[in-house]
Chain A
């Protein structure tokens, strides 16, 4: 199975900051990666799919990029509603695998 190593596992940031979260795939997954946001007690919500495509309705402060097997989610101008846990998910091959998650907390 493809392993998705997500870092950091947690971070503290202030409103207005720019934060970067990374997922490293254990092998080539092309562009088959999505990012999800989850708030406590809620279902996850897709932010980005196919590495860099913003899901409809998601603010443009969220962006996704990739360099070979390293995938990055960047949140610019962090807003209060962005404090949550973020997960990557590879859909290139089965079994699908999530990263371990990154909890973004308020500094």
Chain B
């Protein structure tokens, strides 16, 4: 059974940093692109970023609002995905989901999601 479990969320002050983790199981983690998606309270979904697999040089791509402040990494030996966040503002308060990106018929889509971890940025 595919499982994605996020951790590392919590309360952080504006300007602070936080690292989220996502532990994967039930599939060959190294074969997949992995993404982060967030959702501010009562708002819609926002794509945060993607990390490709080793064959694609672990390339990372980011959403406009987080570029330069957030970075994504992965450790395939630990089946783990990470989101490193810095210079946090109240606008970053959200539930953060990790998601597996599957590739079929020439397109990627998120076929598995974690339950999410809440990040609250407040003084």
Contacts and interface: CB of A to CB of B under 8 A. Distances in A.
Interface of A: 1, 31-32, 34, 36, 38, 42-46, 49-50, 53, 55, 87, 89, 91, 94-101
A interface SS class: loop
B30 to A, nearest CB: 21
A20 B55 CA distance: 40
Contacts of B57: none
B104 A43 contact: no
Contacts of A31: 105-107
A98 B45 contact: yes
B91 interface: no
Given A43-B115, A49-B104, A91 B62 contact: no
Contacts of A96: 35, 47, 50, 63
Nearest to B111: A46
Interface of B: 35, 37, 44-47, 50, 61-64, 97, 104-111, 113-116
Interface of chain B: mostly helix, strand, loop or mixed: strand
Nearest to A94: B61
Contacts of B63: 95-96
A34 B63 CA distance: 18
Contacts of A38: 45
B60 to A, nearest CB: 10
B110 A95 contact: no
B47 A97 contact: yes
Nearest to A91: B108
A52 B104 CA distance: 12
